[in-house]
């Protein structure tokens, strides 16, 4: 697994779309890991969940990313890997549903 992105959500979503490298035979998307923090910090929980569903679908089903971590914990205020996101349970549910309904096998 190669972590290709670990940064703020706003740095991940650009005007032209999601910032991902080109896949190669040595590093196909199934070997990529994406870690997003500060996800939708000024948005309502419902808005975060809606956007997260779309992002997870795009990353996992459409682009085939092998590992994904999303948290709304703000890195400037807390350790994003030592605190629970306010949408953690929803993230797990959406990931499980997305992987279960995916048409690919690793």
Q: Does the residue 8 lie in any domain?
A: no
Q: What percent of the chain has pLDDT over 70?
A: 90
Give the whole-angstrom CA distance, residue 7 versus residue 69: 11
The total domain count for the chain is: 1
Give residue 103's pLDDT band: very low, low, confident or very high (50, 70, 90): low
In the chain, % of residues over pLDDT 90: 67
Structure confidence by residue, pLDDT tens digits, 50-101: 999 999 999 998 889 999 999 999 999 999 999 999 999 999 999 999 887 7
Whether residue 93 lies inside any domain: the answer is: yes
SS3 readout for 13-39: EECCEECCCCCCCCCCHHHEEEEEECC
- Please provide the distance, in angstroms rounded to a whole number, between the alpha carbons at the two ends of the chain: 13
7 domain-assigned: no
In a domain, 47, yes or no: yes
Tell me, yes or no, whether 11 lies in a domain.
no
Please tell me the predicted confidence (pLDDT) of residue 16: 52
pLDDT of residue 106: 46
Task: Establish if 56 belongs to a structural domain.
Answer: yes
Domain of residue 97: give its range.
32-101
Domain presence at residue 17? no
Q: Where are the alpha helices (DSSP H) in the chain?
A: 9-12, 45-56, 88-101
What integer is the mean pLDDT of 15-29?
A: 79
Considering the domain boundaries, does residue 3 fall inside one? no
Position 17 confidence tier, pLDDT thresholds 50, 70, 90: low
pLDDT at position 13: 77
């Amino acid at each position: 697994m190669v972590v290709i992105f670990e940064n703020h959500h706003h740095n991940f979503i650009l005007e032209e779309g999601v910032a991902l490298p080109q896949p190669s035979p040595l590093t196909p998307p199934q070997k990529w890991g994406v870690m997003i923090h500060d996800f939708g910090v000024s948005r309502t929980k419902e808005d975060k969940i809606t956007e997260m569903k779309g992002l997870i679908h795009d990353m996992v089903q459409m682009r085939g990313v092998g590992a994904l971590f999303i948290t709304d914990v703000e890195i400037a205020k807390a350790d994003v890997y030592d605190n629970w996101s306010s949408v953690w349970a929803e993230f797990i549910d959406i990931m499980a549903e997305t992987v279960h309904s995916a048409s690919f096998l690793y």
